[in-house]
Amino acid sequence: MDNFFLFTLDRPIYHGTDFNHPPTYNLVEKPLVSKGPKQITMSQINCTNNDLVPSSTPHLSYTESSHEVETFQGSVFDIEDILARLDGRKPADGLVNPTELTVGINNHRLPIGVRRILRGNAASLPPDLALPYHPVFSTAPSPNVDLRLMGDVEITSIEMIVFFSNHYRWKDWGLRLWNAGWTFSPLVRLIFEVRKCSDEIKNMQSVLSKTTFKHLGDARGNPRSPYTTYTCKQWTPPNATNLIDYYVRDIAVGVSREDFPTGKDAGLLTQTLQHLFDHQHDPEVMELKLSGLEQFIHKMKFTKTDGEIDDKASCLSRHGCGGMMAMNGVWRTQCYLNTR
């Protein structure tokens, strides 16, 4: 075959938080067979990834003559078709268009909880391998999950970070953490540690801190002020459309039970999740959604017995200078304050 080239996929580079701007993948060009000079015009392809191709190989190949992408196992896919599916011009069979529904963060695979809700609403679902998996974007509840449905249920700042990692798009999420004393690096590190992200994904920290945590960054120019409202019922969503309810059991997807908040950081939400894990055969428990959380807590008579919520104390205990980030032994002694 003339002019046969092999491309390998690097990690995605993120371009902001807008759902309409999915990640760009760098394609590394490696000529295998080349007869004479050749110019490759496909060296920069937006939004393409090998997870669309049902193959275990991490490589894709490209032939200029046929404009096809093929795996080593022989499956052939049209490159334009793949790109069209990924940038939203042509959703894959049964695929929810992330640019329309605003789910599938940065064109990553949807969290199982979102899929469960969509299935219950008789909505079309994406194939399991239609989009790449991400240990944060594909596990934590989508920012489309309406936290206001919890009503008067107070949540701790650590519960916000651990269970609602993807809600950084909500300005109130960032403002509350900023007022508690959080800065970029410790916040991202905590999320990545809880969700057991690989070192490669941890390297995305510098990108995330400059782009996706925009609201937290915007707050840097403002003085930190006391934050005394610990419910989400007055929060303003970034997009008032396509908001969804969520099964409470799916809130903890991607977080091992040993990494649940403890002590004063374990609020009513953590108590409810612990109860759900202990009663997984109870139909009422398995069908519980955020919209029914407040009523369920009253019914079970859950109360916060470890003291009042204290965002600043929680922040200080996790990244205070010389302090021990101690939560069930997961955290290490660190002094990494972002003072930029």
Q: What's the rounded mean pLDDT across residues 38-63?
A: 31
| 244/291 Cα distance (integer angstroms) | 10
- Check residue 180 and give its pLDDT: 84
pLDDT at 302 over 90: yes
pLDDT at 34 over 50: no
- Give the up-direction half-sphere exposure of residue 114: CA atoms within 13 A in the CB hemisphere: 28
Per-residue model confidence as pLDDT tens digits over 179-188:
888 877 788 8
114 closest CA partner among 134, 96, 130: 96
**152 SS3 class:** coil
Provide the pLDDT confidence category of residue 192 given band limits of 50, 70 and 90. Answer: confident
Provide the pLDDT confidence category of residue 198 given band limits of 50, 70 and 90. Answer: confident
Dihedral sign, CA of 259, 116, 141, 283? negative
Q: What's the rounded mean pLDDT across residues 11-26?
A: 32
pLDDT at 41 over 70: no
pLDDT at 31 over 70: no
| 23/11 Cα distance (integer angstroms) | 9
Q: What ranges do the domains of the chain cover?
A: 4-86, 147-319
In single-letter form, the type of residue at position 253 comes to V
- Check residue 259 and give its pLDDT: 92
pTM across the whole model: 0.62
- Check residue 177 and give its pLDDT: 84
Q: Are residues 155 and 232 in contact, defined by beta-carbon separation less than 8 angstroms? A: yes
- Check residue 140 and give its pLDDT: 92
- Check residue 335 and give its pLDDT: 24
Dihedral sign, CA of 143, 145, 150, 151? positive
Which tops the pLDDT comparison, 150 or 189? 150
Q: How far is CA 71 from the centre of its chain?
A: 29
Provide the pLDDT confidence category of residue 85 given band limits of 50, 70 and 90. Answer: very low
